[in-house]
């Protein structure tokens, strides 16, 4: 696509995924996406092919990493045995 992204035509997106290898092979990952809107729009068709659902966490790429850490914490807390 012919739009500039960032000062040098480059943009950073955060897009960690949730899902085991079998879900990745079946294109059923959950993808946590954050970054500048034009870059997300450009990448979204690819991410939609890889995953079952894409969750948008705004314009700051680090937001997706924080969300993924929170998800991981909740998973671990739910399987913790007293």
Please give the pLDDT value at position 78.
Answer: 86
What's the predicted TM-score (pTM) here? 0.80
* The total number of structural domains that make up the chain: 1
Count of C-beta atoms within a 10 Å radius of residue 21: 7
Catalytic residue among 28, 36, 52, 68: 68
65 is a domain residue: yes
Residue span of the structural domain in which 23 resides:
17-79
Phi, psi values for residue 21, rounded to 5°: -55, -35
Count of CB atoms within 10 A of residue 14's CB? 19
What is the tally of helices (H) and strands (E) in the chain? 3, 3
Question: What are the mean pLDDT values of the chain's consecutive 10-residue runs (82 residues total)?
Answer: 64 92 93 94 93 95 94 86 64
For residue 23, tell me if it sits in a domain.
Answer: yes
Indicate if 40 belongs to the active site: no
Q: Is residue 5 part of a domain?
A: no
Q: How far is CA 38 from CA 2, 17, 61, 70, in A?
A: 11, 20, 13, 26
Token output for 48:
């939609």
59 part of a folded domain: yes
Residue 4 lies in a domain: no
Tell me, yes or no, whether 9 lies in a domain. Answer: no
């Amino acid at each position: 696509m012919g739009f500039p992204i960032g000062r040098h035509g480059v943009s950073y997106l955060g897009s960690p995924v949730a899902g085991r290898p079998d879900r990745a092979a079946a294109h059923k990952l959950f993808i946590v996406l954050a970054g500048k809107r034009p870059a997300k729009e450009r990448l979204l068709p690819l991410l939609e092919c890889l995953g079952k659902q894409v969750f948008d966490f705004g314009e700051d790429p680090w937001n997706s990493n924080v969300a993924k850490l929170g998800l991981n914490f909740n998973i671990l807390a739910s399987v913790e045995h007293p």
